[in-house]
């Protein structure tokens, strides 16, 4: 391994490996080369999509390895540390999310979405309690006008 490159290993299921192997073979690459291209495209901000099942399995029994340069390795380590994940978990997440069409969110993004939803719910309740008395007041005014306009029997 030349200076300035890092070796990174990941584990995936046998089914995922076969899918990865088919995809990489169809592109004329080995699985490790495809993973490197995907990692580089993620770092460069490009997206890769394909119909591959999500990675959410906890059974990672296929070991793959790839070589990365220092810049790419450090960027992945920084992102893993930012998310509180191991380097392997960060790579699995990024690889899987780049290969599937449905969006995958980091745990902190899910927390933000929940907090935003809760804030909107609180705002809605507050508006409801502000508007409810106004509706009652408008109803009473209309009811009073109706009674005043009604002719006696």
- 71 and 124 in a single domain? The answer is no
Distance CA 98, CA 101 (A): 8
Q: What percent of the chain has pLDDT over 70?
A: 80
* pLDDT digits 0-9 by tens, 88-129: 888 888 887 777 766 666 677 778 888 888 889 899 999 888
User: Does residue 60 share a domain with residue 9?
Assistant: yes
Ranges of H-type helices in the chain: 14-26, 31-43, 70-83, 87-99, 107-149
Q: What is the pLDDT of residue 102?
A: 65
Please write the tens of the pLDDT for every residue from 33-66.
888 888 887 787 765 555 445 445 566 777 888 8
Q: Name, in order, each residue with C-beta under 8 angstroms of 31's C-beta and a sequence gap of 6 or more.
A: 17, 20, 21, 24, 64
Question: Do residues 70 and 12 share a domain?
Answer: yes
> Is residue 7 helix, strand or coil?
strand
CA dist 35 and 12 (Å) reads: 12
Same domain, 92 and 17: yes
Instruction: Give the separation between CA 111 and CA 27, rounded to whole angstroms.
Output: 38
Our count of domains for the chain comes to 2
Say yes or no: 73 and 148 in one domain. no
């Amino acid at each position: 391994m030349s200076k300035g490159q890092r070796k990174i290993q990941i584990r995936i299921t046998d089914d995922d490996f076969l899918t990865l192997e088919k995809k990489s073979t169809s592109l004329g690459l080995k699985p490790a080369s495809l993973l490197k291209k995907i990692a580089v495209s993620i770092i460069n901000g490009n997206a890769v999509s394909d119909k591959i099942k999500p990675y959410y399995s906890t059974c990672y029994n296929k070991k793959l390895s790839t070589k990365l340069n220092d810049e790419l390795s450090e960027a992945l380590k920084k992102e893993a540390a930012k998310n509180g994940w191991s380097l392997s978990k960060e790579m699995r997440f990024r690889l899987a999310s780049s290969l599937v069409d449905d969006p995958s969110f980091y745990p902190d993004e899910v927390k933000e979405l929940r907090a935003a939803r809760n804030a909107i719910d609180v705002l809605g309740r507050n508006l409801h309690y502000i508007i409810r008395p106004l509706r009652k007041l408008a109803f009473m005014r209309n009811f009073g006008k109706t009674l005043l306009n009604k002719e006696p029997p």
